[in-house]
Amino acid sequence: MIWISIKRVIRAGFINFWRNGFVSFSSIMVVTMTLFVFTSLIFLSLLTNAYLNQVKDKVDINVYFTTTAPEKDILALKKTIESLEQVARTEYVSREDALKNFKLKHQDDEPTLQGLEELDDNPLGAVLNIKAKQPSQYDSIAKFLDSKDALSKDGSNIIESVNFHKNKQIIDRLNKIVDSATRLGIGLVIFFVLISIVITFNTIRIIIFTSRDEISVMKLVGASNRYIRWPFVVSGIMYGVISAVVTLAVFYPILYYVNKLLASFSPGLNLLTYYLNNFGQIFLIIAGSGILLGAVSSYLAVRRYLKI
């Protein structure tokens, strides 16, 4: 008996949906726009986080030593730095290696190489690259390098410069951009959610108005209030389901095109592959959001306008 009632409610919901085709189409379009913005925010967040992690992964502290710094003092400082709990790894580049790397980098720049040959001594100092375990730990490492603990045994300063502060400004600026983009995306989602609720709310209101004679007949033959209300909620759920399917279908060609644009900038990032590999989870999130949006809007409209 219960199953028969459920089938009748669902059938009545489908009838309401198809009977008011244009109104239903309008609601589906608005809900689809909401889900599209929400899905875009998901992939935008994924994209910005991937780029941010790439930038953070490339950031390190480069310590440039004076040309007169004894190598034993540099190696002693390297050993001290490696003992810090914030440090993941270090890479030491001697003066000789620094000169070789410089010549290799400027191998097509003949004037620079000629000028270098005219010098009596190697003008480049040794370099120590320091990689922290977490980006937030670079501050404490930089403070250590500025302290007296980074001096040589005789108390002289063997460090010429540290390049971390410029990189820190880039990371902080990028973090602010990501935060602003996220806030903007959330604001757009909230805006479209409110519009979707209003549109769906009024759609169900119109359907109730056009079905008023049918509702009166159903009451006369003894239909329960629940049986009369739930078909309208089913119609709202259908708006959400169809909108979710349309949104996911539209995103496939969009991500296919975006991937081609990203190929030259970030070869390791493939949004289309992520979309296909996680399609089940994405479908549940988008479909669940659409169903919830349609069902809640319809239920509120039924409670407000269906006086039975």
Give the pair of three-digit tokens for residue 250. Answer: 């539209």
Q: What is the pLDDT of residues 241-265, one digit of tens each?
A: 888 899 889 888 888 888 777 766 6
- What are residue 127's phi and psi, to 5 degrees? -130, 140
C-beta separation of 179 from 45 below 8 A: no
Q: Among candidates 294, 53, 41, which has minimal Cα distance to 174?
A: 53
Q: Which residues pair with 199 in a beta bridge?
A: none
Averaged pLDDT for residues 78-87: 87
Q: CA angle at residue 192 from 185 to 235, to 5 degrees?
A: 135
Rounded Cα distance, 142 and 93, in Å: 19
**Can you tell me the distance from the alpha carbon of 298 to that of 293, in angstroms, rounded to the nearest whole number?**
9
Predicted pLDDT at 166: 65
pTM: 0.61
pLDDT above 60 for 308:
no
Q: Which amino acid, 13?
A: G
pLDDT of 9 higher than 70: no
Instruction: Please check whether the domain covering 67-157 is classified as CATH 3.30.70.3040.
Output: yes
Mean pLDDT is highest, among 127-136, 172-181, 244-253, for 244-253
DSSP assignment letter at 126: P
- Distance, in Å, from the CA atom of 166 to the CA atom of 62, rounded to the nearest integer, reads 11
| Distance set, CA 179 to CA 94, 171, 253 (Å) | 40, 12, 28
Q: What is the DSSP string of the chain?
A: -HHHHHHHHHHHHHHHHHHTHHHHHHHHHHHHHHHHHHHHHHHHHHHHHHHHHHHHHH--EEEEEPTT--HHHHHHHHHHHHTSTTEEEEEEE-HHHHHHHHHHHTTT-HHHHHHHHTSSS--PPPEEEEEESSGGGHHHHHHHHHSGGGS-TTS---EEEE-HHHHHHHHHHHHHHHHHHHHHHHHHHHHHHHHHHHHHHHHHHHHHHHTHHHHHHHHHTT--HHHHHHHHHHHHHHHHHHHHHHHHHHHHHHHHHHHHHHTTT-TT--HHHHHHHTHHHHHHHHHHHHHHHHHHHHHHHHHHH---
Q: How confident is the model at residue 174 (pLDDT cuts 50, 70, 90)?
A: low
Query: 224 vs 131, which has greater pLDDT?
Result: 131
Sequence-ordered list of residues with C-beta below 8 angstroms from that of 194, at least 6 positions apart, any chain = none
Cβ atoms of 241 and 291 closer than 8 Å: yes
DSSP symbol at 137:
G
Indicate whether 49 pLDDT > 70.
yes
Q: How much is the pLDDT for 116? A: 66
The domain segmentation of the chain, as residue ranges, is 2-56+171-305, 67-157
